[in-house]
């Protein structure tokens, strides 16, 4: 992923690409945004969806925090591979605080929404919610 639309996406991409275990599961640095998604990406891969910003509680706003929610999509050949990647994403992102250049993400929460059949195999949908500044 070379560009990102928001600090949250940038921080997520940086965190994911820095993890050797995830890169091994993806068999490469296959983490994209919609803007960087190739026409025919190699399975499996992860897509970071756009961030929806919400209204943060006043005490957090005063401290410069904003909350955001992003959809994370995992595309894999089968459910087993998709769940293995989700498990790694969960270990990296759920209830962790990421402090990276450009953004701090405070105690994010990653949740599995659903898995869907997809033309390329399986599409696993997860949502990541966090406070960021």
Partner 1 sequence: MAVGRSNLRGMRATLTLSGGNAAGRIANVFGKVDTVTRQAVQEVVADAGAREYQRAYDLAPKLTFFLADHLRYRLTKDRLAYEIGWKSSDFTSEGFAPYFQYTEFGTSKMAARPCLFPAREEIRPYFRANLSRALRQAIARRGRGA
The reply on whether position 84 binds partner 1 by CB under 8 A is no
CB 122 within 8 A of CB 66: no
Contact 66/6 with Cβ under 8 angstroms? no
For position 127 contacting partner 1 by CB under 8 A, the verdict is yes
- Residue from 36, 52, 96, 104 touching partner 1 (CB under 8 A): that is 52
Residue 36 in contact with partner 1, rule: CB under 8 A:
no
How many residues bind to partner 1 according to rule CB under 8 A? 21
108 near partner 1, judged by CB under 8 A: no
Long-range contacts of 1-5 (CB under 8 A, 24+ apart): 1/31, 1/32, 1/33, 1/36, 1/48, 2/36, 3/33, 3/35, 3/36, 4/33, 4/48, 5/33, 5/35, 5/50, 5/51
Does residue 75 interact with partner 1 by CB under 8 A? yes
Q: Which two tokens stand for residue 8?
A: 């949250």
- Residue 99 in contact with partner 1, rule: CB under 8 A: no
Among 20, 55, 59, 62, contact with partner 1 (rule: CB under 8 A): 55
Separation between Cα atoms, residue 86 and residue 19, nearest integer Å: 13
Q: Is 86 in the site for partner 1 (CB under 8 A)?
A: no
Binding site for partner 1 (CB under 8 A): 34, 49, 52, 54-55, 69, 71, 73, 75, 111, 113-120, 123, 125, 127
């Amino acid at each position: 992923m070379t560009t990102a639309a928001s600090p949250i996406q940038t921080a997520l991409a940086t965190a994911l690409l820095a993890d050797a275990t995830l890169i091994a599961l993806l068999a490469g640095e296959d983490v994209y945004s919609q803007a960087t998604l190739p026409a025919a990406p190699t399975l499996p891969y992860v897509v970071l969806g756009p961030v929806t910003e919400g209204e943060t509680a006043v005490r957090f706003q005063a401290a410069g925090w904003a909350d955001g929610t992003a959809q994370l999509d995992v595309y894999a050949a089968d459910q087993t591979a998709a769940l293995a990647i989700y498990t790694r994403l969960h270990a990296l992102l759920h209830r962790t605080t990421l402090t990276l250049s450009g953004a701090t993400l405070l105690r994010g929460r990653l949740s599995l929404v659903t898995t869907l059949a997809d033309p390329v195999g399986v599409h696993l949908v997860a949502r990541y919610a966090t406070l960021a500044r």
